[in-house]
Amino acid sequence: MSHKIKTLSEYFQEYQKSIDQPEQFWGQIAENFRWKKPWDKVLSWDFEGPSVKWFENAKLNLTENIFERQLPNLGEKTAIIWEPNDPKEAERRISYSELYELTCQFSNALESQGIQKGDRVIIYMPMVPEAAIAMLACARVGAVHSVVFAGFSSTALADRINDCQAKMVLTSDGNFRGAKNIAVKAVVDEALERTDCIEKVIVYQRTKEEVTMKAGRDVWWHEVIENESRSHAAASLDAEDLLFILYTSGSTGKPKGVVHTTAGYMVYSHYSFSNVFQYNQDDVYWCTADVGWITGHSYIVYGPLLEGATTLMFEGVPTYPHAGRFWEIVDKYKVNQFYTAPTAIRALQAYGLEPLEPYSLDSLKVIGSVGEPINEEAWHWYHDHIGKGKCPLVDTWWQTETGGIMISPLAGITPNKPAHASLPLPGIQPIIVDAEGEELKGNNVEGNLCIKFPWPSILRTTYGDHKRCKETYFSAYPGLYFTGDGVKRDHDGYLRILGRVDDVINVSGHRMGTAEVENAINEHPKVIESAVVGYPHDIKGQGIYAYAICDMEDNTQEELILQIKDTVRKIIGPIAKPDAVQIVPGLPKTRSGKIMRRILRKVASRDISNMGDTSTLLNPEIVDQIIKGAGL
C-alpha cells in the first residue's frame, strides 16, 4: 500500500501535514482500505468526556481488509509461519488463502456455537496460529475478543471474564512453553467455578493430554469446525464498534479493560507497522511477543496481516532448548525484521557471544525494541551483535492504550540515537508538561509525557467504566491524554522515555500495578499490611520488592516469604511474583497515613545515601529498622 515514508524530509513533510490537516491526512490514508460504506466525518473528539470517534458512520469489516482486499494479489503468499516450541516438531506455513478459509470456517463455528455480534469472547491460548484465527474470526463476526495471556492465574482469568461478562472461552488442553507443559484447560475449569456468564468453551487440542470436558459446555475445536463451510459473509460493522478489550494494570485497583474500536485501530496498526518496520513484500517479519499483550495484537496479527506481510509466530521461549534459539529461528526463516523486548536482549546478552556463533543473522535488515526503556548497554549489544552494526534499531514507545507505536525511529530513515525512542510518528502530538501541567517547550527539558491530539487507535474507554478512563488518562492534565511516563527531550529534539512516573512497575516489559500486587499479598492470612515498589533489576528492567507487616506467631520469616510469593503467583500469575519480600515491623507513613514510597524504593534499590526529608513521618524510627532489616 502507498503512504510509506521513504526519506527523512518526507517524514518531516508528512508529519507537518498530519498536524496542520489531521482529517485530510488520515482520510487519505483510510481511502486505501475497503469500506462497505464511507464515513461522514473523519474525526470528532473532545478529551473532556473523553469522546473520540474516527471515520464516523463508516461501515466495514477489518478482516475483509486482510483477505478480500488483498487475496487477488497475495493468495498463495505465506501469511503465518509458525515455529513450534520443540524444534523437532514440524513448522507450519499458512498462506493468505488458507488463513482466509480457516478464519471463515471458525467464524461459522463461532456463530453455530451461539456467538453474535457484540458478544465478548475470551481467548486464553498458546502461541499457535489458531490464536490468531480466533481473533480474526471474532473480528469477522463482530464479536469482541479479549485475549488473556495464558500465564495468568485462574483468579486473574475469572476477574477478566466477569468484568466483560464474556459468553465464551477459547482455550487449549495444554501449552508447551520451554521444558514445561502447562495444564491450561484445568486453569480455565478453575476460573469458571467463579463465573456464571460463560456458555461455551472451545478447546484446541495442542498437547493431547487428558482434560475434563464438561458436557454441554466444553467442545473440541476440531469437532466444531468439522462440518463448517470455508466461506463466510463478513459482518458489517460500524467504524466505532468494539474490536477488542485488552486488560492492563494501572496504579490503582484491578486491571482495566482497554477498549479499541474497529476502523481507527485498523488504520493505525497498519500505518505504524508499515512505516516503522519498512516492510517490503518479500520480507519475513518476526515479533517475539505473545498475542496476550498489545504488541502481539498490533504487530503479530493485525498490522502485519493488513500489510500482507509474512508474520512469524513462535510458540516457545528464547532459551529453549538452548540460548541460541532466537538466532537459530532468524537463520532458519531468513527473518528480515526482528522485534523483541529489552528484557529478552539482556537475558540473552548474559549468555555471552557463544550462543550466537553458529548463526549468520545475515538476513536481518531491521531490529526493534518494545515494552520498556532499553538501557544503552543492551542497545549497543543488540545493535552490534544482532544487527551487526548495519541494521537500524527501532526503539518503539507505545502502550496498550495507544494501540500502536507512537514514538519511534522509522527504520533506515530516522537517524539512530542509542536508547532514544526519538521522534513521534505522523499524527502523534506529544507534549511535555511539568507537575502543574505547564508545557515545557524547547529542547533539554524533562517532564511528564502527554499527547494533545487524538490518533486513530487511541483507547475509547475502559470497559464498563468510562469514569475510570477519564480519571486515569484525562484528568491529571485536563485536555491532554496522560501516558504515565516520564520523558526527556534532548538537545536535538529527540525523545527519551524515562519510565513510569506512577505506581506502575515494568517487569520484563510487563506492566504490574503495585496496588494489584499488594492486594494479592494481603490475601495471605498472616499479612497485616504490605507495600510494593519497583527496583532496578539487571535482566528484568525492574524487579518487584514487597514489604510486609505480618503476624509472626506460628511461622518463621523464611516460611512466610515463600508463602507470600506463592500467594501472588496463585492470585495473579508467575509474572507478578515478588523478587524480594522483606518482613518489616512497620511502614514509613506520613501524618496523613500515606506510605512514603520514596524511602521504600531507595532501600529496595540498595541506595540509602540520601534518604531525603523524613521529618514528616509519623514513625521516623522505622526507616532505620527497615534499612537494617534489608541488611544494609
Q: Report the first-to-last Cα separation within the chain, whole angstroms.
A: 59
Side chain identity, residue 239: A
Closer CB to ligand PRX, residue 135 or residue 294?
294
The residue to which cell 480466533 is assigned: 134
Candidates 612, 592, 609, 604; CA nearest to 630 is 604
Instruction: Tell whether residue 295 is a contact of ligand PRX (CB under 6 A).
Output: yes
The distance of closest approach from Cβ of residue 454 to ligand PRX in the complex, given in angstroms and rounded to an integer, is 18
Does residue 258 contact residue 462 with C-beta atoms inside 8 Å?
A: yes
Residue nearest to ligand PRX (CB): 400
Instruction: Tell whether residue 485 is a contact of ligand PRX (CB under 6 A).
Output: yes
Specify the stretch interacting with ligand PRX by CB under 6 A; choose among 177-185, 332-340, 381-389, 397-405: 397-405
DSSP 354-375: GGGTT---TT--EEEEESSPPP
Q: What is residue 235's DSSP assignment?
A: P
Closer CB to ligand PRX, residue 240 or residue 485?
485
Chain positions 209 to 228 lying near ligand PRX, rule: CB under 6 A, are none
Handedness of CA 439, 440, 442, 447 (dihedral sign): negative
Instruction: Tell whether residue 489 is a contact of ligand PRX (CB under 6 A).
Output: no
The distance of closest approach from Cβ of residue 374 to ligand PRX in the complex, given in angstroms and rounded to an integer, is 6
The distance of closest approach from Cβ of residue 484 to ligand PRX in the complex, given in angstroms and rounded to an integer, is 5
Q: Give all strands of the β-sheet with 284-287 in edge-to-edge order.
A: 92-95, 78-83, 310-314, 284-287, 337-340, 366-370, 393-396
C-alpha cell at 88: 523437532
C-alpha cell at 475: 484528568
**Total residues at the site for ligand PRX (CB under 6 A)?**
23
Instruction: Tell whether residue 84 is a contact of ligand PRX (CB under 6 A).
Output: no
Query: Torsions phi, psi of 406, nearest 5?
Result: -105, -45
In which element (H, E) is residue 325 found?
A: helix 325-333
Q: What is residue 478's DSSP assignment?
A: T
Q: Give the one residue of 497, 521, 596, 604 binding ligand PRX; rule: CB under 6 A.
A: 497
Q: Would you call the peptide bond into 392 cis, given omega within 30 degrees of 0 as the criterion?
A: no
Instruction: Tell whether residue 421 is a contact of ligand PRX (CB under 6 A).
Output: yes
CB atoms closer than 10 angstroms to residue 632: 11
The residue to which cell 475497503 is assigned: 34
Closer CB to ligand PRX, residue 31 or residue 538?
538
CB atoms closer than 10 angstroms to residue 9: 10
Chain positions 595 to 614 lying near ligand PRX, rule: CB under 6 A, are none
- CA–CA dist 291, 322 (Å, integer): 23
Q: Which residues of 164-179 are buried (b: 16+ CB within 10 A; e: fewer)?
A: bebbbbbbbbbbbbbe
Q: Give the one residue of 155, 248, 414, 508 binding ligand PRX; rule: CB under 6 A.
A: 248
Closer CB to ligand PRX, residue 256 or residue 602?
256
Instruction: Tell whether residue 459 is a contact of ligand PRX (CB under 6 A).
Output: no
Instruction: Tell whether residue 484 is a contact of ligand PRX (CB under 6 A).
Output: yes
Q: Give the one residue of 119, 173, 372, 502 binding ligand PRX; rule: CB under 6 A.
A: 372
Q: Give the one residue of 294, 411, 507, 527 binding ligand PRX; rule: CB under 6 A.
A: 294
Q: Give the one residue of 26, 271, 285, 397 binding ligand PRX; rule: CB under 6 A.
A: 397
Residues 6+ apart with CB under 8 A from 233: none
Specify the stretch interacting with ligand PRX by CB under 6 A; choose among 51-59, 141-149, 398-406, 459-467: 398-406
Q: What is residue 575's DSSP assignment?
A: G
- CA–CA dist 67, 85 (Å, integer): 28
Instruction: Tell whether residue 340 is a contact of ligand PRX (CB under 6 A).
Output: no
The distance of closest approach from Cβ of residue 428 to ligand PRX in the complex, given in angstroms and rounded to an integer, is 14
- CA–CA dist 34, 61 (Å, integer): 8
C-alpha cell at 544: 518487584
Instruction: Tell whether residue 270 is a contact of ligand PRX (CB under 6 A).
Output: no
The distance of closest approach from Cβ of residue 18 to ligand PRX in the complex, given in angstroms and rounded to an integer, is 21
Instruction: Tell whether residue 373 is a contact of ligand PRX (CB under 6 A).
Output: yes
Chain positions 26 to 45 lying near ligand PRX, rule: CB under 6 A, are none
The distance of closest approach from Cβ of residue 140 to ligand PRX in the complex, given in angstroms and rounded to an integer, is 25
Instruction: Tell whether residue 537 is a contact of ligand PRX (CB under 6 A).
Output: no
The distance of closest approach from Cβ of residue 379 to ligand PRX in the complex, given in angstroms and rounded to an integer, is 11
Q: Give the one residue of 119, 283, 395, 518 binding ligand PRX; rule: CB under 6 A.
A: 395
Specify the stretch interacting with ligand PRX by CB under 6 A; choose among 194-202, 271-279, 498-506, 550-558: 498-506
Q: Give the one residue of 398, 453, 455, 494 binding ligand PRX; rule: CB under 6 A.
A: 398
Q: Give the one residue of 260, 511, 565, 577 binding ligand PRX; rule: CB under 6 A.
A: 511
Specify the stretch interacting with ligand PRX by CB under 6 A; choose among 106-114, 131-139, 195-203, 497-505: 497-505
Instruction: Tell whether residue 578 is a contact of ligand PRX (CB under 6 A).
Output: no
CB atoms closer than 10 angstroms to residue 112: 12
Q: What is residue 250's DSSP assignment?
A: -
216 torsion bin: left (phi>0), alpha (psi -120 to 50), beta (else): left
Instruction: Tell whether residue 238 is a contact of ligand PRX (CB under 6 A).
Output: no
Closer CB to ligand PRX, residue 506 or residue 514?
506
Residues 6+ apart with CB under 8 A from 29: 3, 267, 271
Interface ranges with ligand PRX (CB under 6 A): 248, 294-295, 369-373, 395-400, 421, 483-485, 497, 499-500, 506, 511
